[in-house]
């Protein structure tokens, strides 16, 4: 462990539009080490990686590469300093050959430079051999399998003399055999002194491949430990060891009948399968899971955005077919999408038109749209939800994130839904707006709405839900009652660990 | 405050007023009744097509096949008239023909999600050459006497044509503003995925808009054809440019979601007046196209400039209220 430090990030801070993604993140990477970086969704892993690769610039803190402080990082600077990143989805140009793809990262000729095809192909073959890949350099990259593409990317990084290699969930979609192959490549790179940051949600593979591990939580580095000194339970506790200090406005509500029921629901297009779940009137069911576990995909299937091809959806006990969002809305389902900036509201439209967009029949008469009624509605909802705006006729684009979210929510409340699906309802919005939205959810439940809430924030899940459904690998693996749900249990299930182990985790709690 | 939302329309209107004042000062005869009537009559078909084009551009698409559709409808109207189809039946038949051609575009763009610029480019060539082949380049002549001016006589028919064009514009303007369908058009053009999540069906909206575009092109073709004693088989060449230019100069965003038909009216008037105005002031009308091009560029540039200004202003506005809230 006396190897030289390749990369040192100290107390990095970064905020996006007022939301602090990194509060104090530190990471130290040595030559010839595989350093695991773990944390929940939103813990700041991606942002830290982006700071290191120069994709975003940090607000504060220090980044050193091989002892030199990097002041103005950019993707180009990072590349010249020998940093390369390989993401879960390979980023090769599918229309170009393997050799061309590798050359893109390596050759330094300017726009007028001549291409030496022969040496390019030979070089590509050498690099591919180094990662143990038997791939014809003349094939189109788009024709390769995922694992092959990954190896080509690694070869490209080697060709560019990468000393720091960042692997972002490289095994997420690999088979067992491909994973072992990749591990062999990683080991041989380690021998050669390459330092690797290894991001993974598969905790079970860390002891096999990683030397040290750094845990991030809420934008802070919690600790860096030798992999041989920690076990899985300890890692999970470090990931979730957050205080449940925030007070959630949760109220006991008399539960009514089952409103939404999913039986063996599957959707091949989006990879969700065998979903059994029900939500009763007045109930808030939290849908927990990692990014990619299929939560949004499930919501989209219920809302008619992707076709359901097995199982059934029942509303108040009756099987229904939902072919489009319009059909879902007619049946009383509302869906507040993730990423409101893109699709939750129409930014160019005024607040009023945004709110009435899914309920135009309510303001339509024989004489066209009733603008006075629309103004009344807009006034009512902006008051009720506390939307802070200079006037109701301004475009939604001029509002802050939290206020945009309230407008998006207003639209769905106006449809008087019996089922309300909320996808990350408070992600990226300020604390005040957040608790207002939580209070509103409680009110809605009290009025008898069945609420299904997707969230990546464990405290929110535990604080607001009557039951917690945990998804992993495209299906609901467990449904916990409010009283039984703990951060450790939910996270362990989300990571794909089985129930027996989960109880072990719970007992190991201090 | 309300006017500020229609800045582009207002600036196009100001440019038009300035043009009229300049021409009026240099050549007062420009405002003779005969000249104004000719102007209105010549531009009525373009205006109708521009109404349809506004809808298409509002949903974020474009239709450059309208000139060829216009020619097909013109020739078809002539043929049908010669075959003895009564004048009253011509209108629905030509509208239907236009709507069918529009529906083909709409199906390819809306449902198959092909890029509208390529689809309609293909249609532009396909309809034009199909027509050339069918007609062998011959004009439709010896039309029945009740075809010209609908058999109503020139004065009455002229009023009718201009009246229909303006009436259609007013009707569509009202629908865009006052009907749910109008909202759907704006929502689709602003953010089709967001519109879909709000229960609108963007594909259907795009399809419908192309159908309307075709029908309006058919109407324009018929109203244009009755003005002459023969129907040329090469009618409507360059019509798509005139229509798109009118929409853009009138303030609509080519990316969709923003624009009004009043703006399109002003844009069509401005571009349609330039040529005649040049003649009256004694400038060689060869400059017409160049000046029109310059106006289109000026409209786009001012759009960018106003956008900057707008962002600054809105920034100030939010700051002010944030302060007031404290």
Q: What are A349-382's pLDDT values in tens digits? A: 999 999 999 999 999 988 889 999 999 999 999 9
All residues of chain B having their beta carbon less than 8 Å from the beta carbon of residue A345 are 194
Listed range (A350-354, A488-492, A498-502) with the worst mean pLDDT: A498-502
Residue pLDDT, tens place only, A124-174: 999 998 888 888 999 999 888 888 898 899 999 888 889 999 999 888 778
CB hemisphere CA count around B109 (13 angstroms):
32
Taking the C-alpha atoms of residue B67 and residue B90, their distance in angstroms, rounded to an integer, is 20
Q: What whole-number percentage of chain B has pLDDT above 70?
A: 92
Our CA-based measurement puts residue A338 at a distance from the nearest CA of chain B, in whole angstroms, of 11
Whether residue B32 is contained in a domain is answered as: no
The string of pLDDT tens digits covering residues B121-179 is 999 999 999 999 999 989 999 899 889 888 888 889 999 999 999 999 999 999 999 99
Mean pLDDT of A204-219: 92
Burial state string for B260-274 with b = 16 or more CB within 10 A and e = fewer than 16: bbbbbbbbbbbbbbb
Q: Do domains A5-240 and A253-332+417-510 have the same CATH topology?
A: yes
A412-436: average pLDDT: 88
Tell me which residue has tokens 């050498």: A126
* Chain B residues with beta carbon closer than 8 angstroms to that of A337: 197
Residue B256 lies in a domain: yes
Q: What is the pLDDT of residue A366?
A: 80
Q: pLDDT-derived band of residue B310, with 50, 70 and 90 as boundaries?
A: low
pLDDT of residue B306: 65
Contacts of residue B261, defined as CB under 8 A and 6 or more positions apart, other chains included, come to B51, B54, B169, B172, B173, B176
- Residue B196 inside a domain? The answer is yes
Of A328, A346, A394, the CB nearest to B190: A346
pLDDT tens-digit map of A230-274? 988 888 888 887 665 567 888 888 899 999 999 999 999 889 999
Chain A residues within an 8 Å CB radius of B193? 342-343
* Residue B75 placed within a domain: yes
Say whether residue A366 is in contact with chain B using an 8 A CB cutoff.
Answer: no
Mean pLDDT of chain B: 89
Question: Which residue range(s) make up the domain with B191?
Answer: 3-23+42-310
Provide the pLDDT confidence category of residue B320 given band limits of 50, 70 and 90. very low
* Cβ–Cβ below 8 Å for A344 and B194: yes
Interface check for B198 against chain A (CB to CB < 8 A): the answer is yes
Query: Which of B198, B253, B257 is the best mutation test for A, with the most CBs of A within 10 A?
Result: B198
The closest alpha carbon to A423, from A404, A433, A409, belongs to A409
Question: Which chain A residues have a beta carbon less than 8 Å from that of B174?
Answer: 368
| Cα dihedral: A8, A13, A19, A21 (round 10) | 10
Query: What is the separation, in whole angstroms, between the first and last Cα of chain B?
Result: 25
Phi/psi-derived region of residue A286, left when phi > 0, alpha when psi is between -120 and 50, beta in every other case: beta
The predicted pLDDT at position A394 comes to: 87
**Tokens read off for A37:** 């970086």
pLDDT value at residue A112: 60
Q: Distance between CA A28 and CA A63 in Å, rounded? A: 10
Domain boundaries, chain A: 5-240, 253-332+417-510, 340-415
Position B124 scores a pLDDT of 97
Cα A501 to chain centroid, rounded:
25
pLDDT at res. B160: 94
In angstroms, the CA B67 to CA B88 distance is 24
Q: Does A318 touch chain B (CB under 8 A)?
A: no
Distance of alpha carbon A110 from alpha carbon A105, whole angstroms: 13
Answer whether A346 touches B (CB < 8 Å): yes
Question: How far apart are the C-alpha atoms of A482 and B58, rounded to whole Å?
Answer: 49
Count Cβ atoms within 10 A of the Cβ of residue B21 and give its class: 0-12 exposed, 13-18 middle, 19 or more buried.
Answer: exposed
Cβ of residue B313 closer than 8 Å to a chain A Cβ: no
CA B324 to chain centroid, in Å, comes to 45
* Residue carrying the six token digits 């969002």: A325
CATH value at residue B74: 1.10.3470
What is the CATH code of the structural domain delimited by A253-332+417-510? 3.40.50.300
Judged by DSSP in three states, A455 sits in coil
Contact B178 A389 (CB under 8 A): no
For A167, the 3-state DSSP assignment is strand
Distance CA B104, CA B214 (A): 10
Q: Is A172 on the interface with B (CB under 8 A)?
A: no
Instruction: Give the Cα separation of B308 and B312 in Å (integer).
Output: 6
Per-residue pLDDT at A347 exceeds 80: yes
- Chain A nearest-CA distance from B193, in A, is 6
In chain A, what is the straight-line distance between the N-terminal and C-terminal CA atoms, in Å?
Answer: 32
Measured CA to CA, the distance from residue A6 to residue A25 in angstroms comes to 17
A–B interface: beta-carbon pairs under 8 A: 81
CA distance A465 to chain B (A): 25
When divided into structural domains, chain B yields a total of: 1
Cross-chain residue pair B178–A368, CB shorter than 8 Å: yes
Provide the pLDDT confidence category of residue A90 given band limits of 50, 70 and 90: confident
In this prediction, residue B239 has a pLDDT band, given cuts at 50, 70 and 90, of very high
In a domain, B202, yes or no: yes
Kindly tell me if the per-residue pLDDT of A106 is higher than 70.
Answer: no
Tell the burial category of A34 from Cβ atoms under 10 Å away from its Cβ (0-12, 13-18, 19+).
Answer: buried
What is the H or E stretch that residue A201 is in? none
Percent of chain A exceeding pLDDT 70 equals 93
Residue A409 tokens, joined: 């929510």
Q: So what's the pLDDT on residue A2? A: 52
Asked if residue B296 has pLDDT above 70, the reply is yes
Kindly give, in sequence order, each residue whose CB lies less than 8 Å from that of residue B207, ignoring residues fewer than 6 positions away: B103, B106, B107, B109, B110, B111
B199/A344 CB distance under 8 A: no
Nearest-CA distance A343 → chain B (Å): 4
3-class SS letters over A49-65 = HHHHHCCCCCCEEEEEE
Question: What pLDDT is recorded for position A508?
Answer: 43
Q: Report the C-alpha gap between B212 and A328 in whole angstroms.
A: 28
pLDDT given for residue A4 in this prediction: 86
pLDDT at position B319? 32
pLDDT at B325 over 70: no
Phi, psi of B223 (to 5 degrees): -65, -30
CATH class of the domain at A5-240: alpha beta
Query: Residue A314 in contact with residue A260, Cβ under 8 Å?
Result: yes
Contact A346 B187 (CB under 8 A): yes
For chain B positions 242-281, those within 8 Å of chain A (CB to CB) are 257-258
Q: Is B3 on the interface with A (CB under 8 A)?
A: no
A393-397, A422-426, B198-202, B313-317: lowest mean pLDDT where? B313-317
Q: Is A398 on the interface with B (CB under 8 A)?
A: yes
Tell me the two tokens of residue B206. Answer: 């795009």
State the smallest CA–CA distance between residue A98 and chain B in angstroms: 30
Mean pLDDT of chain A: 88
CB contact under 8 A, B191 and A342: yes
Whole-angstrom distance, CA of residue A399 vs CA of residue A408: 12
Give the DSSP letter string of A239-259.
Answer: HH-----SPP--------SEE
Nearest to A421 by CA among A262, A273, A254, A300: A300
How far is C-alpha A377 from the geometric centre of its chain's CA atoms? Answer: 34
Q: Give chain A positions within 8 Å (CB) of B180.
A: 360-361, 364, 369
> What is the predicted pLDDT for the residue at A1?
45
Helix and strand numbers, DSSP H then E, in chain B: 12, 0
Nearest to B183 among A344, A347, A357 (CB): A357
Q: What is d(CA A403, CA A48) in angstroms, rounded to the nearest whole number?
A: 28
- B194/A389 touch (CB, cutoff 8 Å), yes or no: no
- What's the pLDDT tens digit per position in A22-63? 999 999 999 999 999 998 877 889 899 999 999 888 999 999
Residues A286, A426: contact at Cβ < 8 Å? no
* Cβ-based contacts of B183 with chain A (< 8 Å): 353, 357, 360, 369
> Which region among A83-87, A399-403, B71-75 has the lowest average model confidence (pLDDT)?
A399-403
């Amino acid at each position: 462990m006396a190897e030289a430090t390749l990369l040192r990030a100290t107390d990095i801070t970064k905020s996006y539009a007022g939301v602090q993604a990194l509060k104090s993140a530190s990471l130290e990477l040595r030559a010839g080490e595989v350093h695991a970086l773990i944390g929940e969704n939103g813990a700041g892993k991606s942002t830290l990686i982006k700071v290191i690769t120069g994709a975003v610039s940090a607000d504060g803190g220090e980044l050193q590469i091989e002892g030199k402080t990097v002041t103005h990082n950019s993707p180009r600077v990072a590349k010249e300093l020998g940093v390369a990143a390989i993401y879960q989805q390979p980023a090769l140009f599918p229309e170009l050959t393997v050799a061309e793809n590798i050359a893109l990262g390596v050759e330094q000729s300017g726009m007028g430079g001549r291409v030496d095809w022969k040496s390019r192909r030979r070089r590509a073959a050498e690099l591919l051999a180094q990662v143990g890949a038997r791939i014809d350099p003349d094939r189109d990259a788009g024709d390769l399998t995922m694992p092959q593409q990954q190896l080509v990317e690694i070869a490209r990084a080697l060709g560019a003399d990468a000393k720091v290699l960042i692997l972002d969930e490289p095994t997420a979609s690999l088979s067992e055999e491909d994973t072992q192959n990749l591990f062999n490549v990683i080991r041989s790179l380690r021998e050669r002194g390459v330092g690797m940051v290894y991001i993974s949600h598969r905790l079970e593979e860390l002891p096999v491949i990683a030397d040290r591990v750094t845990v991030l939580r809420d934008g802070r580095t919690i600790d860096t430990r030798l992999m041989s000194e920690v076990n899985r339970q300890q890692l999970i506790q470090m990931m979730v060891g957050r205080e449940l200090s925030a007070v959630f406005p949760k109220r006991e509500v008399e539960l009514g009948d089952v409103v939404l029921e999913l039986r063996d629901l599957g959707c091949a297009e989006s990879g969700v399968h065998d979903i059994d779940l029900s939500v009763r009137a007045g109930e808030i069911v939290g849908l927990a899971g990692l990014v990619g576990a299929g939560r949004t995909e499930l919501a989209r299937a219920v809302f008619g955005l992707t076709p359901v091809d097995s199982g059934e959806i029942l509303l108040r006990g009756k099987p229904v077919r939902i072919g489009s969002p319009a059909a879902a809305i007619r049946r009383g389902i509302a869906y507040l999408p993730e990423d409101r900036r893109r699709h939750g509201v129409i930014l160019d439209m005024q607040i009023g038109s945004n709110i009435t967009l899914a309920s135009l029949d309510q303001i339509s008469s024989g004489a066209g749209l009733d603008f006075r009624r629309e103004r009344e509605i807009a006034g009512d909802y902006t008051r009720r939800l506390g939307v802070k705006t200079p006037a109701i006729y301004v475009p939604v684009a001029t509002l802050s994130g939290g206020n945009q979210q309230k407008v998006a929510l207003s639209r769905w409340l106006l449809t008087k839904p019996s089922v309300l699906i909320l996808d990350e309802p408070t992600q990226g919005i300020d604390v005040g707006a957040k608790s207002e939205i939580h209070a509103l959810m409680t009110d809605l439940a009290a009025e008898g709405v069945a609420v299904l809430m997707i969230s990546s924030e464990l405290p929110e899940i535990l604080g607001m839900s009557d039951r917690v459904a945990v998804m992993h690998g495209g299906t609901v693996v467990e449904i916990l009652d409010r009283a039984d749900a703990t951060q450790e249990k939910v996270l362990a299930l989300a990571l794909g660990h089985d129930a027996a182990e989960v109880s072990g985790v719970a007992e190991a709690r201090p | 405050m309300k006017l500020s939302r229609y800045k582009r329309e207002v600036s196009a209107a100001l440019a038009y007023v300035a043009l009229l004042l300049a021409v009026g000062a240099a050549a007062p005869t420009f405002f003779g009744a005969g000249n104004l009537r000719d102007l209105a009559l010549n531009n009525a078909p373009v205006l109708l097509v521009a109404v349809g084009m506004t809808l298409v551009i509002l949903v974020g698409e474009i239709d450059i096949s309208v000139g060829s559709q216009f020619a097909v409808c013109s020739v078809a109207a002539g043929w049908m008239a010669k075959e003895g189809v009564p004048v009253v039946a011509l209108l629905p038949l030509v509208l239907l023909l236009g709507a069918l051609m529009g529906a083909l575009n709409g199906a390819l763009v809306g449902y198959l999600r092909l890029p509208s610029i390529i689809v309609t480019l293909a249609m532009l060539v396909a309809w034009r050459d199909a027509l050339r082949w069918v007609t062998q380049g011959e004009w439709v002549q010896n039309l029945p006497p009740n075809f010209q001016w609908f058999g109503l006589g020139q004065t009455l028919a002229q009023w009718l044509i201009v009246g229909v064009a303006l009436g259609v514009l007013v009707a569509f303007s009202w629908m865009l503003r006052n009907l749910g369908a109008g909202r759907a058009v704006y929502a689709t053009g602003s953010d089709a995925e967001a519109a879909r999540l709000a229960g609108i069906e963007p594909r259907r909206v795009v399809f419908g808009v192309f159908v309307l575009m075709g029908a309006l092109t058919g109407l324009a073709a018929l109203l244009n054809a009755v003005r002459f004693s023969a129907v040329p088989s090469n009618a409507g060449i360059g019509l798509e440019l005139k229509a798109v230019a009118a929409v853009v100069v009138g303030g609509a965003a080519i990316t969709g979601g923003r624009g009004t038909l009043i703006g399109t009216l002003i844009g069509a008037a401005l571009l349609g007046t330039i040529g005649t105005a040049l003649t009256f002031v004694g400038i060689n009308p060869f400059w017409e196209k160049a000046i029109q091009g310059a106006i289109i560029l000026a409209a786009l540039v001012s759009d960018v400039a106003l956008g900057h200004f707008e962002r600054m202003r809105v920034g100030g506005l939010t700051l002010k209220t944030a302060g007031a809230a404290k």
